[in-house]
Amino acid sequence: MVMLTVTKVMIFVMLLFSVILHEVAHGYTALRLGDPTARDAGRLTLNPIKHIDPFGTVVLPLLLHLAHSPILIGWAKPVPVNPYLLREPNKAMMLVAASGPLTNITLAVLFALGLRNLPASTVPLFVDLLVFSCYINIILALFNLLPVPPLDGSKLLAGLLPVRLRESYLRLGRYGIFIVLPFVYLALKYGVLTTIVEGIFYFLVRA
- What's the first-to-final CA gap in the chain, in angstroms? 35
Contact 142, 197 (CB under 8 A): yes
Contacts 24+ apart (CB under 8 A), 65-74: 65/8, 69/188, 70/188, 70/194, 71/135, 71/139, 71/188, 71/193, 71/194, 71/197, 72/11, 72/12, 72/15, 72/136, 72/139, 73/139, 73/140, 73/143, 73/184, 74/15, 74/19
Q: How distant is the alpha carbon of residue 9 from its chain centre?
A: 18
Whether 198 sits among the annotated catalytic residues: the reply is no
Q: How distant is the alpha carbon of residue 19 from its chain centre?
A: 5
Q: Which positions are catalytic? A: 23
